[in-house]
């Protein structure tokens, strides 16, 4: 579900993963039509990093 959100509404994805400053920067980037594609790519990349961080924290916690 977050992947779809990252592609369609990239700035909102940053707020769901706890990065509000990046969310505002992404919103400014997304306001331009040409900035939508880089914003979506950045959002998907950040989501992947977030998931990796969660997996690392879970493995260290065991």
Please state the pTM of the whole predicted model. Answer: 0.84
Total number of domains in the chain: 1
Cα separation values, 31 from 7, 27, 36, 51, Å: 14, 6, 7, 27
Closest CA to 37 of 8, 14, 3: 8
Domain with 15, as residue range(s), is: 2-61
| pLDDT of 62 above 90 | no
pLDDT band for position 28 (cuts 50, 70, 90): very high
Return the number of other C-beta atoms located less than 10 Å from residue 2's C-beta: 15
């Amino acid at each position: 579900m977050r992947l779809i959100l990252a592609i369609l509404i990239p700035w909102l994805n940053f707020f769901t993963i706890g990065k509000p400053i990046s969310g505002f920067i992404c919103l400014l980037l997304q306001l331009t039509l040409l900035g939508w594609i880089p914003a979506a790519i950045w959002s998907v990349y950040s989501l992947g990093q977030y998931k990796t961080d969660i997996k690392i924290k879970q493995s260290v916690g065991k």
